[in-house]
Amino acid sequence: MNDIIIMSLCTLGAVFILIASIGIYKMPDFYSRLSVTIKATTLGIGCVLVAATMFFSDFSVTTKAIAIMFFLIITSPVAAFLVGKVGYMTGTKLWKHSIMDELREDLDHKLKKNSNKAVEHINEEE
């Protein structure tokens, strides 16, 4: 029974990683590719690591696999967010059928707020 669960988790992990690789090819823009790759790959690697912890029931392997899963789940979304934001700031275009651009509204608000502060600072110096 344990072998069937391990094989199922490994297969499921491989399928998620395959979905991530197909998503890189099929998605229309950088941001969609980034999103599908991070989500599917994290889930796929997590399934493979759970299978490894079940197969190698040694304490050292289990703690290492749990630590890897923890750091992967913590760091992957943050890294994807930062890569996406840098891509947006450098001018990477959105898909032509994108409906919303929430980051543009946020940046416009921040630019307006900062320019008002700069004007107030100049007026205070005079």
Task: Report the predicted TM-score, pTM, of the whole model to 2 decimal places.
Answer: 0.73
Q: What would the pLDDT profile of 49-100 be if each residue is shown by its tens digit?
A: 999 999 998 999 999 999 999 999 999 999 998 998 888 888 777 777 767 6
Reported as a pLDDT band with limits 50, 70 and 90, residue 119 is very low
Q: Give the span between the Cα atoms of 121 and 35, in whole angstroms.
A: 40
In which residue are the tokens 């940046």 written? 107
Reported as a pLDDT band with limits 50, 70 and 90, residue 102 is: low
Structural contact between residues 19 and 41, judged by C-beta atoms closer than 8 angstroms: no
pLDDT digits (tens, 9 = 90+) for 19-41: 999 988 888 888 888 888 899 99
What is the C-alpha to C-alpha distance for residues 29 and 37, in angstroms, rounded to an integer? 12
Helix (H) or strand (E) holding 3, with range, is helix 2-26
Sequence length of the chain is 126
